[in-house]
Amino acid sequence: MTDRWAAMEISINAILRGEYPYNIVDFQGNESSNLPVLVLLGMPFYLLFGSVGYLQCFVFVLFSLIVFKFFKNYRERVVAICLLIFSPSYLYEIYTKSDLFSNFIIAVGAILFLWKYFIKSTKLRYEYVAIIAALLLLTRIPILFPLMILLLRKVYFLSFRQKVIFGSVLILTTIPFLIWFFLPAESWELIKYHNPFQLQSKQPVFFSFFFFTLAGILSFKVKNVKNVLDYSSFVLFFSVMSVFLLMIYWYGLKSVFFESGFDISYFNVAMPFFILSLPLNNSILGKEALLKI
């Protein structure tokens, strides 16, 4: 009994009707925690095919393209594809029509793109990078961690003027989406108590600050794309693990595992990074795979 697909559908229907999407409950009585860009990603598939689940079909094709672009020969490609399609966590996402795994496959694809065209070269201007970063952040909050690991060091060495432009473009890209989604709200009080940021921010402030700082430190230790994938999967996994252990401490093991005290599918935020990183950890496959990007 999961309702992640329903949360996206009620958000899409609300936006199409010009309503505020974050105070409407689905069939399980839950409100949507989907940020604006994620809702927009699911909208074409809902309008064309009547189900947001078709987003996963598109993302699987995207993942395949990432694998063929990222890895150098068929051995790495087969390993990466098999790791995905035989993963119980990915199959769970397919069965429940969830958008979580798909969201982070899109994120890892964008991060590899930025690595190749912004970090390794200067083919992509920093203004466009700011736009891409803003769009990714408007899908799910935890994407902040891999983005920091990838971009912080590069942005740090930009000139003051470039930093101001980067930040301004990022903010100006974010504002129209927030206005579109939040303007239909009848009052500030409604936004205050019914918004996706509140639902996604389940981590205590201390833990958030710790992993935010850790991501920043790791950014300055990145030497290759494998580091980006490894560090991202590490930070994402343990940021979820910290909440998971805290919930066990507060409510007990039985409540967390068997009474839906915690949604363990949140660990899937780290899986796309891990799946692409794992073939690189093999001494036979990894040396050639790193050369591709």
pLDDT (0 to 100) of residue 283:
42
**DSSP per position, 58-75:** HHHHHHHHHHHHH-SSHH
Q: Is the pLDDT of residue 52 over 80?
A: yes
Six-digit token string for 151 = 């971009």
> Which of 220 and 205 is assigned the larger pLDDT?
220
Q: What is the mean pLDDT of residues 256-266?
A: 84
Confidence of residue 270 (pLDDT cuts 50, 70, 90): very high
Q: Is the pLDDT of residue 180 over 60?
A: yes
Confidence of residue 64 (pLDDT cuts 50, 70, 90): very high
| CA pair distance 121, 128, nearest whole angstrom | 14
pLDDT (0 to 100) of residue 286:
45
Six-digit token string for 154 = 């590069």
pLDDT (0 to 100) of residue 281:
67
278 secondary structure, DSSP code? G
| CA pair distance 206, 259, nearest whole angstrom | 27
Q: Is the pLDDT of residue 284 over 60?
A: no
Helical H segments across the chain, by residue range: 4-16, 36-49, 54-70, 74-85, 88-96, 100-114, 126-137, 144-156, 160-182, 188-193, 196-200, 205-219, 225-251, 253-258, 271-277, 283-292
> Which of 218 and 250 is assigned the larger pLDDT?
218
